[in-house]
Amino acid sequence: MSANEGLQVVWFKRDLRLEDHAPLAAAANGKPTLLLYVFEPELMNDPHYSERHWRFVTQSLLEMNGRLEPLNQRVYILKGSMLEVLDAIHAHNPISNLLSHEETGLRVTYERDKAISTWCRQHRVNWQEYQSNGVKRGRYSRDGWAHDWHRVMSQPLAEPEWAQLLPAEDQQRCLSDYVMESALLKAWSTRDPSHQLGGVGAAQHALESFFDERGKIYHKALSKPLLSRKHCSRLSPYLAWGNLSIRQVYQRLQAERGRSGWGRALSALNSRLHWHCHFIQKFESEDRIEFEPMNFGYHQFQDDHSLANEQAWATGNTGIPYLDACLRCLQNTGYLHFRGRAMIVSALCHLMQGRWQFAARQLAQWFLDFEPGIHYAQIQMQVGLTGINTLRIYNPVKQGLDHDPDAVFIKKWVPELSELPVPLVHTPWELGPIERACMDMNYPDPVIDIAQAHKAARALYWDRRQNPLVRQDINRVLYRHVETRTHLKTQHSNKGELR
């Protein structure tokens, strides 16, 4: 069977939108096309994911189907192995073309994609994968990457010609064994008011409200636990799950250039759009960092870890108020401001003897905007496993005093301390035993001595940074992940300041 015959299948993954969608645009060629999303047990049971992710995905898919209904199209929402689903479709209506975006995912999705590739070759199906945002597959160095990124971002949006997207015949019969449970879809379609709503409509509302008013002080709000909830873009889950493409946001941003009073905010957002793809490109180039340090020199170090401290951190009961407030906020809402994310990783891995792998998996479950490429590249950078980035060891008390001086955020998420005055609410262990008894606080003592823990972490990580094997691998890391023009700016200074 030639590629000009048979059924086309558009496979949605982390691209849950109908605009700027290259696979959809390519499929709009007058040939029968099946639109498909599969809830895969391998992913649903993976420790990186939780119900909040699948709820967001469901809301996105149902909204897409609402928009597709007048076009006599829909996304088939299935559950099962992608290989088995393809087998079922192919047996009923032979597939000629499978179209999808490239996915920079976890090892589990990489292994699945290799199996799909083998299946396509065996069944003579043409699998056409399209570049996702600014991430380029097959790169072995970063030279020219930024230029390519800007070129891709400036290209016209890939918009489907809907009149040419011909619906496939009803596939319900052959896919009856894989239909997603309606009760589960109904449950997940219901909005959890503590989390952002999935879907292009919600994404567009966040985008427009940012440029209407919210974003003018974006650059000032990045480090603030309360201000960030209103004045940061709040686009991260919509980008992570593909309700918006990076290019859509980039071009919307460019349209606002020159706007009075918005210069620094727009510059900060532009940088973060670039960083979004920059970090995913790292994971695309070296997906082994899901399991091991980026810099090979760090493989020699084996650390003891504290299960008790990991448990205290995971439950938001470390006895350090600002740290616990950030952890509880993230657990309950799926969102935490930029600096807060860095701080909670530093607190566990630098100060509390926690494993970076433990932090990575737990945080993935909590972050509504979990994106594997950004996630693991950021974790490695923050913990100090690259050998090239400045080591930042955060002091949670100082962060609270700097960014929540009146303890409004702390008292919201750690109500056990709501009666304590400022500044004691930041350091309740400074209360005397009589005062503590009178207050009857149901709040634990800190699991660490912050000053001692910082001193030990600073000595340990700086010593490791100077290790010959770590330094030996720096040039390889730079070549793979940093453009040549920045190689001379290797950061060998900074011994890990207390932030």
Residue found under tokens 């008390």: 397
Q: What is the pLDDT of residue 4?
A: 54
Helix, strand, or coil (residue 39): strand
Rg of the chain in Å (alpha carbons): 24
Q: Torsions phi, psi of 208, nearest 5?
A: -70, -40
For 64-100, write each residue's pLDDT tens digit: 999 999 999 999 999 999 999 999 999 999 999 999 9
Query: What amino acid occupies position 10?
Result: V
Residue numbers in the known binding site are 218
- Cα–Cα distance, 180 to 76 (Å, whole number): 9
- The beta strands (E) that lie in 389-467 are given as none
Residue found under tokens 């929402």: 77
Q: What is the pLDDT of residue 437?
A: 72
- Is 375 a residue whose pLDDT tops 60? yes
Q: Torsions phi, psi of 217, nearest 5?
A: -110, 30
- Is 488 a residue whose pLDDT tops 60? no
Q: What percent of the chain has pLDDT over 90?
A: 90
Q: How far is CA 143 from the centre of its chain?
A: 25
Task: State the average pLDDT for the chain.
Answer: 94
- Cα–Cα distance, 294 to 286 (Å, whole number): 8
Long-range contacts of residues 482-488, Cβ cutoff 8 Å, at least 24 apart: 482/142, 482/388, 483/142, 483/143, 483/144, 483/145, 483/146, 484/141, 484/142, 484/143
Sign, CA torsion 409/415/419/420: negative
Helix, strand, or coil (residue 166): strand
For 140-176, write each residue's pLDDT tens digit: 889 999 999 999 999 999 999 999 999 998 888 889 9
For 320-366, write each residue's pLDDT tens digit: 999 999 999 999 999 999 999 999 999 999 999 999 999 999 999 99
Helices 338-346 and 356-366, interaxial angle, to 10°?
Answer: 150
Residue numbers in the known binding site for FAD are 218
Q: Is the domain 7-160+175-184 a CATH 3.40.50.620 member?
A: yes
Cis peptide before 41 (omega within 30 of 0): no
- Cα–Cα distance, 351 to 364 (Å, whole number): 21
- Cα–Cα distance, 278 to 296 (Å, whole number): 21
Measured between alpha carbons, how far is residue 299 from residues 41, 288, 381, 399 in Å?
32, 12, 15, 31
**75-79 and 32-39: which strand pairing?**
parallel
For 326-338, write each residue's pLDDT tens digit: 999 999 999 999 9
- Is 496 a residue whose pLDDT tops 90? no
Helices 338-346 and 372-383, interaxial angle, to 10°?
Answer: 60
Q: What number is the average pLDDT over the span 482-497?
A: 48
CA angle 119/68/249 to nearest 5° reads 85
Q: Which two tokens stand for residue 362?
A: 């737990």
Q: Tell me which CATH code domain 200-283 carries.
A: 1.25.40.80
- Where exactly are the structural domains of the chain? 7-160+175-184, 200-283, 289-489
For 195-242, write each residue's pLDDT tens digit: 999 999 999 999 999 999 999 999 999 999 999 999 999 999 999 999
Helix, strand, or coil (residue 36): strand
Q: What is the pLDDT of residue 424?
A: 95
Q: Which two tokens stand for residue 415?
A: 């109500």
Is there a common fold for 200-283 and 289-489? no
Residues in a beta bridge with 126: 97
Query: What amino acid occupies position 276?
Result: H
Helix, strand, coil in percent for the chain, rounding step 5: 55, 5, 35
- Is 498 a residue whose pLDDT tops 90? no
- Cα–Cα distance, 172 to 440 (Å, whole number): 61
Query: What amino acid occupies position 60?
Result: S
Query: 173 near 71, Cβ under 8 Å?
Result: no
- Is 441 a residue whose pLDDT tops 90? no
- Cα–Cα distance, 128 to 98 (Å, whole number): 6
Q: What number is the average pLDDT over the span 181-199?
A: 95
Which candidate, 305, 287, 284, places its Cα nearest to that of 139? 284
Q: Is the domain 289-489 a CATH 1.10.579.10 member?
A: yes
Query: What amino acid occupies position 302?
Result: Q
- Cα–Cα distance, 312 to 309 (Å, whole number): 5
286 CB-side CA count, 13 A: 23
- Cα–Cα distance, 425 to 420 (Å, whole number): 5
Q: Which residues contact 57 (CB under 8 A, 6 or more apart)?
A: 16, 37, 39, 188, 198, 241
Residue burial 366-379, b: 16+ Cβ < 10 Å; e: rest:
bbbbbbbbbbbbbb
